[in-house]
Structure 1
């Protein structure tokens, strides 16, 4: 059964398996008449009447008398937004990295989080190679119950590279989103190979980057 929900003023549509198959067939064969759709699906034309009416009402299909069904404006807009997202690379959406030296104290790391309004600090070593990441949780764990913890260097509390999920500037944005979702991450370092070994951090992709990107794409499609 088709479900129509609303989220922030937009309709979220869950189509039935048959309605999805109708959309696929129309995309493949458009323009196509109802009798042809019924034959391809192995059902009667009256059986499809409610499905076709709903899809037309939602703007996913359009129909012209004596011509047939073809994809509607709503589908084309959503598809255009998806294609735009798929075409973007990490380099086009990444933000400037908030990098700190591995000798920085935990106290100063906490200050850096607030002054830079950052969710994650990217740690580099003396050769400016990517060494690890530090999150607010990392800093909280080491400071709770340890009076002298503020003076500990971040190198002692960071998660070390290469035990960190990263992306490269040429990766698709969709791959960055997949990694962030799969690993439940707030930030992905963007790294490139360095000439003399190791990797350099050149940017970061955060949840804020992704949310703003999706907002811009959705707004442009409206």
Structure 2
């Protein structure tokens, strides 16, 4: 991970400095830094900064595994909804599926966009008639969405999430050049990445 490499190169280094190196905000990095400290890959001292922890071994089996993993090996099954679904039913789907993001598909089952809890909250607050509005009116439309390919590395997924401050990225079968919307084959979530990193760290112990 680029974050670990930066700490290796500049340690001790503060969270503010790391955020500046990566071109992201300090709050964006807070959860990632906390996770790495928890896993023992980083250590931190107040008023000093971050430095490599005892669990960080660049040539270890766990780090090599993380570097070689592809998105297609770790992606989850997306929660798809039709673009004609009402905002009310989308809210219900969010809770029943325990999803952070909903993938919106058109009548041809192709990727149309995404809907997040924040999108739904914006339209429903103070708008009693919003429940009947179709999600196509509130979704973020493709191609204005950051996506992954199954062949992308997990490292790429982590960096895209950090750079764009999102909790979930759709995985599409391939980039469509003909203007046709792509097919969504999976998704990668921040919670899934955290579980993956925890599993890799425990195996490497």
The residue matched to 2:147 in structure 1 has which SS?
A: coil
The residue matched to 1:216 in structure 2 has which SS?
A: helix
- The 3 A distance-change label for structure 1 pair 190 and 201 is same
User: Which residue number in structure 1 is paired with residue 190 of structure 2?
Assistant: 207
Alpha-carbon distance, 1:80 to partner: 2.4
Alpha-carbon distance, 1:144 to partner: 0.4
The residue matched to 2:173 in structure 1 has which SS?
A: strand
**Which runs of at least 4 in structure 1 moved beyond 6 Å after TM superposition?**
none
Alpha-carbon distance, 1:82 to partner: 1.6
Structure 2 unaligned residues grouped into runs of 5+: 1-9, 13-35, 45-50
User: Which residue number in structure 1 is paired with residue 165 of structure 2?
Assistant: 184
> RMSD in angstroms over aligned alpha carbons?
2.7
Give the TM-score normalised by the residue count of structure 1: 0.67
Greater Cα radius of gyration, structure 1 or 2: 1
Alpha-carbon distance, 1:83 to partner: 1.1
Aligned length: 164
- The 3 A distance-change label for structure 1 pair 150 and 215 is same
8 Å contact kept, 2:39–2:201: no
- The 3 A distance-change label for structure 1 pair 83 and 164 is same
C-alpha distance in 2 between matches for 1:116 and 1:92: 22
C-alpha distance in 2 between matches for 1:154 and 1:76: 46
Where relative contact order (Cα < 8 A, 6+ residues apart) is larger, the structure is 2
**Aligned counterpart in structure 2 of residue 144 of structure 1, from 125, 136, 149:** 125
C-alpha distance in 2 between matches for 1:129 and 1:198: 6
Alpha-carbon distance, 1:210 to partner: 0.2
8 Å contact kept, 1:77–1:221: no
Structure 1 unaligned residues grouped into runs of 5+: 15-19, 21-57, 60-73
User: Which residue number in structure 1 is paired with residue 72 of structure 2?
Assistant: 91
User: Which residue number in structure 2 is paired with residue 12 of structure 1?
Assistant: 42
8 Å contact kept, 1:95–1:204: yes
Alpha-carbon distance, 1:10 to partner: 3.3
Give the TM-score normalised by the residue count of structure 2: 0.72
C-alpha distance in 2 between matches for 1:91 and 1:203: 8
